[in-house]
Structure 1
Amino acid sequence: MPKPKKPDPDHNLYRRGETWWCRYVLAGIEQRVSLRTTDVKAARRARDRLLRDAAAQREGRGPEPIHKWEDAVEAYLAIQETLVRSGSLSARTAARYETSLIQLSETLEGTVLTEITTATVLDFVIARREDDLSSSTIRNDLTAWSRVLSVAATLGWIEINPARNFDRKTYIGRDADLLNPPVDAEVQALFEEVATWSEDIADLIRWLRETGMRLAEGLAIERGDIHPDGRHATLRRGVKRNSHGLKTRTIDLGRAADMLPRLPLRGRLFPSLSLDSAVVSTRYGQWRRQRQGRENREAAAQGRAPVELARFRLHDLRHAFAIASLTDDPTCIYRLMEHLGHSSVRTTEVYTRFLRGEGAQRRYTRDPNLFGSLPPLADIMLQRRA
């Protein structure tokens, strides 16, 4: 007895070039529809939906409703609000997801959910990389994206979650893999040029480089956080959270203490700048792109090649502080871990790996006359005795 033939998984499918099309009959007329994908698995899913809609029309039923990105976002936000009220999701995390959803909606608004594929995700990741966003920011965006599509899948609007299935390790990697902090001369050049545009941001740049603070920590620090000795500060705001709450810590300000006399005596040290680190980062990024644009136009007018300005984020100043500290004192890694607020020394060890590899030349570019680093242990011991 002959074995029954297995159904052809690609029935009703054919290709024009690299794009998949679907062929079927409706009301006695052959229909040929582009599925607008080069992925055979996505084509099969799109074909199945078309055939289900055709069957529904033959039976006098309407086609399946079409759900778009904004429908899924609305459904997710309703669930997120419930999670925040119940304490299952922190308000801060929810706000971070909403920030990512704003960015995602600029790309996906009006997009039918079933048309979102891993290729869509890859295009978004490439665009975010070109905007010089960090790996952690892109990962946050994809997490928010995945949460929205998970709700859509639960509601039966989609069958798979492309954002969850996307290979983040291959296409995003870790920030540590892309570590390239600016050297002291580059930071000094940036400081001098930014000062002609915004003295407040120039002061912030020096403060971040001298302290190694996160941007949110630097924006939130207040005069009341500075100790009476004027050399130390306790960070309570803008710090990262863990399962036990805030990672409040006390740090040595190093040379940043010399800036205190010209900073406000009450309230925030940088009151003219937004508390929202995303706003400040965006403002800085816009200035940097405009500055490069001016250089490109001037070079074209003068018939020369444009000078490519150093490209680094405000967060890279924290990396520059860490690299300088380990260059000045290779034994300071545990003190550096506590200073930076890392929960594990493994996180801090990324800087030692950098110095053993691509950053091996950093000791030649280190200029202690321009910027400081983590104070030596001997100085700390003297301060304690005093």
Structure 2
Amino acid sequence: MPRTQNEDPDRNLYRRGETWWCRYVLGGAEQRVSLRTSDVKAARRARDRLLKDAATHRDGRGPAPVRTWEDAVEGYLAVQETLVRSNTLAAKTARRYETSLVQISEALEGTPLGDITTATVLDFVMARREDECASSTIHNDLTAWSRVLGYAVANNWIDVNPVRSFERKIFIGRDADMLDPPEDAAVQTLIEEVATWSTDMADLVRWLRETGMRLGEALAIDRQDIHPDKRHATLRRGVKRNAHGLKTRTIDLGRAADMLDRLPGKGRLFANLSADSAVVSTRYGQWCRQRQGREDREAYAEGRPPVQLARYRLHDQRHAFAIASLIDDPTCIYRLMEQLGHSSVKTTEIYTRFLRGEGAQRRYGRDRTRFGSLPPAVIISPPTG
């Protein structure tokens, strides 16, 4: 709502504690409405919407309908279907957004769009942190959230997208800032415990630790991807596109090559597991929670404090492989970059920073008798004569 140069920008506003309220007259009665924000700029925008609706009501046209989070999600998903059909948006990316929107909708059920502020976003982020979600997962959630609110802005349902102005670097950071890779003894214990539930999942955990592959890459790898020497593999499916658009790379299998004899001779190596990484991650997470639940019940029955069991993500095996490789050969960083599929060595350097910082403080353990790392470079001697 436009205002004159000398008009008070905080007219009709007042505070109760940290929360801004709006006071105005409608139908001869004073209205006092909580704006549900401590941010003065957000309060001014909410105030302007209230006054605009009040003016519309006085003109006899009735207030504008209140749009909720569900309205925006429904409208956005219809647009997203069109984007997928036109190949503007990858189907896999669309599914990831839908997964995030399920989580967000649980927190925003029935919420008017005008009530969503950066404070709302911060509450969601903190809750996801308490659930031990990875930074990358939270970033994905906020990207999906921002797309929905962007749809609402385009339809003039709200004036601004608070997710876009949220300080992600401050409140979320990167997974690299929170590295907590399991040491070799912990990985061995994890594999043994997982094997009591699923030998296929236990093999997957060992494969991830021995190769540093991403979960999606491991679930998609096929026997045809293995080279005749049975020491290397070319990854073609489930591979993350890098900055140069490359979608394939050749990796060294290391000690994972010793597992090939007990894995399928045709088709996917992990055919008994879903090819969808989200499904596998969810099943693994359920097992972790059930394992802790059993410990809690046993502790209660025995009258003792429960042991908080280490809960490592499947992706943490990739970090453990990288850390072990740099411990075994500090000069391997460029080969490690290629093995992991990083588009820049700066990404790989997060592991060297970990070893100089947190890893050095806790004297990160390495047991070469349990697991391998990136094999040494093969030096080809020039022909003689």
Fold match by TM threshold 0.5? yes
Shift of residue 173, structure 1, vs aligned partner: 0.6
- Uncovered stretches (5+) of structure 2, i.e. residues with no partner: none
1:52 and 2:71 are equivalent in the alignment: no
Secondary structure of the corresponding residue to residue 207 of structure 1: helix
State yes or no: 1:325 paired with 2:325.
yes
TM-superposed CA distance for 1:381, in Å, is 5.5
Which residue is 2:130 aligned to? Answer: 130
Query: Match of 1:254?
Result: 254
The corresponding residue for 1:284 is: 284
2:90 and 2:290 map into 1 onto residues whose CA distance is 37
How far apart, CA to CA, are the structure 2 residues paired with 1:243 and 1:355? 26
Letter in 2 for 1:317: Q
SS in structure 1 at match of 2:24:
strand
Distance 1:144 1:5, change over 3 A: closer
* More displaced 10-residue stretch of structure 1: 162-171 or 132-141: 132-141
Contact (CA 8 Å) 1:355, 1:362: kept in 2 or not? Answer: no
The CA deviation string for residues 332-363 of structure 1, in whole angstroms up to 9 with x for no partner, is 11111111111111111111111111112677
Corresponding position of 2:348: 348
* Greater displacement, 273-282 / 87-96: 87-96
CA distance in 2, matches of 1:361, 1:218: 32
C-alpha distance after superposition, 1:28-53 (max 9, x if no partner): 22222233333333322222222222
Q: Aligned letter for 2:291?
A: R
For residues 329 and 301 of structure 1, the distance between their equivalents in structure 2, rounded to whole angstroms, comes to: 48
- Could you give the per-residue CA deviations for residues 281-302 of structure 1, whole angstroms, max 9, x where no partner exists? 1111111122112212222332
Output the CA distance in 1 between the equivalents of 2:52 and 2:24.
11
Deviations 1:57-93 (A, max 9, x none): 2111110121111221232233333433444333333
Equivalent position of 1:115 in the other structure? 115
Question: How much does 1:235 deviate?
Answer: 0.8
The range that moved more, 353-362 or 137-146, is 353-362
Residues 148 and 270 of structure 1, relative CA distance in 2, 3 Å threshold? same
1:91 corresponds in structure 2 to 91
Counterpart in the other structure of 1:143: 143
| Structure 1 outlier segments of 4+, above 6 Å | none
> What's the secondary structure of 1:32's corresponding residue?
strand
- Structure-to-structure mapping, 1:12-23, within 5 angstroms: 12-23=12-23
Question: Partners in 2 of 1:361 and 1:89 — Cα distance?
Answer: 44
Q: Which letter maps to 1:180?
A: D
Which deviates further from its counterpart, 179-188 or 247-256? 247-256
Structure 2 letter corresponding to 1:359: G
Give the letter aligned to residue 308 of structure 1: Q
Residue equivalent to 2:373: 373
1:263 is the counterpart of 2:259: no
The residue that corresponds to 1:70 in the other structure is 70
Name the CA distance, whole Å, in 2 between partners of 1:171 and 1:93. Answer: 24
The answer as to whether partners of 1:70 and 1:110 remain within 8 angstroms in 2 is yes
C-alpha contact (below 8 Å) 1:327/1:362 kept by paired residues? no
Identity across matched positions, percent:
77
- AA aligned to 2:146 is S
Instruction: Give the conservation status (yes or no) of the 8 Å contact 2:242–2:342.
Output: no
Q: Contact 2:244 / 2:343 at 8 angstroms: preserved in 1?
A: no
1:212-264 Cα distance to aligned partner (Å, 9 max, x none): 10000111111111122222111111100146544211111111111111111
Distance 1:142 1:295, change over 3 A: same
Aligned-partner SS, 2:142: helix
Matched to 2:156, the amino acid is G
SS at match of 1:366: coil
CA distance in 2, matches of 1:5, 1:352: 56
Alignment deviations for residues 85-111 of structure 1 (CA, whole Å, 9 cap, x no partner)? 444333333332222222222222322
Distance in 2 (CA, whole Å) between partners of 1:216 and 1:254 is 19
Per-residue deviation at 1:158? Answer: 0.6
Amino acid at match of 2:132: D
Q: Distance in 2 between matches of 1:297 and 1:92?
A: 39
Instruction: Report matched runs for 1:191-270 at 5 Å.
Output: 191-242=191-242, 245-270=245-270
* 1:269 to partner: Cα distance: 1.1
Structure 1 residues without counterparts, runs of 5 or longer:
none
SS of residue matched to 2:326: helix
What secondary structure is seen at the aligned counterpart in 1 of 2:164? helix
- Aligned equivalent of 1:275: 275
Give distance in 1, aligned partners of 2:339 and 2:205.
Answer: 18
Superposed, 1:20-39 pairs within 5 Å as: 20-39=20-39
SS in 1 for 2:306: coil
Which amino acid is the alignment partner of residue 79 of structure 1?
V
Q: Which segment is superposed worse, 245-254 or 77-86?
A: 77-86
Report if aligned partners of 2:243, 2:343 keep a CA contact under 8 Å in 1: no
> Which string of whole-angstrom CA distances, capped at 9 and with x for unpartnered residues, describes residues 152-203 of structure 1?
1121111111110000010001111101100001101111111111111111
Query: Match of 2:129, SS?
Result: helix
CA–CA distance in structure 1, aligned partners of residues 244 and 99 of structure 2? 25
CA distance in 2, matches of 1:370, 1:5: 73
